[in-house]
A = this chain, B = another copy of it.
Amino acid sequence: MKYFVHQNALCETDAVGDGTRVWAFAHILPKAKIGKDCNVCDHVFIENDVVVGDRVTIKCGVQLWDGVRVANDVFIGPNATFTNDHFPRSKKYPAKFLGTTICNSASIGANATILPGLTIGESSMVGAGAVVTRSVPPFAIVVGNPAKIIGYVDSPQVLRKDGGNVRAESEGIIHTNVRGVTLHTLRVVPDMRGSLSVGEFDRDIPFKPLRYFLVFDVPTRETRGEHAHRRCHQFLIAIRGSVSVVADDGRKRQEVTLDKPNFGIHLPPLTWGIQYRYSSDAVLLVFASEYYDASDYIRSYSEFLTVVN
């Protein structure tokens, strides 16, 4: 016997692979089959009609009922709970218990609940506290009650080549191919009290503002504003909804969709800017480096071209 059973454990089966450890107050019934290099923690209970693969971790407080099949490299978090009857009644047994299949490398989070008859797909990740009511596809990450897919373990990046339309993903600054125009992803601090997005002037935002303005209640998607400034810097953020911004230095042009409260665009002076495709709930926040001065505006694109060239 090359596996370990704690003196306070009760391991009634012999079908245990090498290197497996069974800890205190765990109880395994006689017909269960446990693979190699497993870890069966304190207060675990395993019934007879159970097959566990190799390198499986079963944390404290878990029970594996008749009909559970666990493949290799699976992690089962503490107090995760399985079921094998959709409509349990005391002393009334279904013709056949509904089994649960946990595929290779899947992980089941702490205190998750798995409804009967489901398959937990390969490498999937069930979040802590999730109540899983439908089978989980391979590689899916699921959370909540009932559990829903919130992503995939190996989200491929091939999907991210969005042509000319740049989208913010992680903090930092992106230089566009339009002279001086930069895209800024600002800090976000999520918290039980809500989310907080912060920008410091002359640090995150490349200037100190003398003015801000808000654009909202834009009646239709077709509504459009456009102009350039001679001296004024602008920094635009779509605090709600989305707005498309075209930046143009007279030679190159780039379109950006602002759609997050922590994603902004810096338009330096002598950049022709167009804002349009406002979503119905859009609120655009603009910081400007100068007070309002009508003579600073260039409102005709042909005049703009003359000035920059």
Residues of A within 8 A of B (CB): 8, 10, 24-25, 27, 37, 41-43, 45, 55-57, 59-61, 63, 65, 73-75, 77-79, 81-83, 87-91, 105, 107, 109-111, 113, 115, 125, 128-131, 133-137, 140, 142-152, 155, 157-167, 169, 190-203, 208-220, 222-227, 239-240, 246, 253, 255, 261-262, 274, 276, 278, 281, 283, 285, 287, 291-292, 299-302
Q: Chain B residues near A57 (CB, 8 Å)? A: 88, 90-91
Q: Are A190 and B134 in contact (CB under 8 A)?
A: yes
Q: Chain B residues near A217 (CB, 8 Å)? A: 166, 190, 194-195
Q: Are A219 and B192 in contact (CB under 8 A)?
A: yes
A191, closest chain B residue (CB) = B134
Q: Chain B residues near A301 (CB, 8 Å)? A: 157-158
In angstroms, Cα B12 to Cα A24, docked, is 12
Q: Chain B residues near A225 (CB, 8 Å)? A: 159, 193
Complex partner residue of A214 from B142, B164, B197, CB under 8 angstroms = B197
Q: Are A25 and B43 in contact (CB under 8 A)?
A: yes
In angstroms, Cα B227 to Cα A262, docked, is 24
Q: Are A210 and B201 in contact (CB under 8 A)?
A: yes
Closest chain-B Cβ to A168's Cβ sits at a distance in Å of 10
Closest chain-B Cβ to A55's Cβ sits at a distance in Å of 5
Complex partner residue of A160 from B45, B133, B191, B197, CB under 8 angstroms = B133
Q: Chain B residues near A37 (CB, 8 Å)? A: 91
Q: Are B159 and A145 in contact (CB under 8 A)?
A: no
In angstroms, Cα B263 to Cα A214, docked, is 12
Q: Are B83 and A63 in contact (CB under 8 A)?
A: no
A208, closest chain B residue (CB) = B208
Q: Are B220 and A195 in contact (CB under 8 A)?
A: no
Closest chain-B Cβ to A93's Cβ sits at a distance in Å of 10
Q: Chain B residues near A193 (CB, 8 Å)? A: 137, 149, 218-219, 223-225
Residue of A59, A144, A166 ringed by the most chain B CB atoms within 10 A: A144
Q: Are A90 and B109 in contact (CB under 8 A)?
A: no
Complex partner residue of A300 from B109, B158, B169, CB under 8 angstroms = B158
Q: Chain B residues near A196 (CB, 8 Å)? A: 213-215
Q: Are A239 and B253 in contact (CB under 8 A)?
A: no
Complex partner residue of A82 from B75, B78, B148, B202, CB under 8 angstroms = B78
Q: Are B148 and A220 in contact (CB under 8 A)?
A: yes
Complex partner residue of A107 from B42, B89, B109, B144, CB under 8 angstroms = B89
In angstroms, Cα B157 to Cα A294, docked, is 19
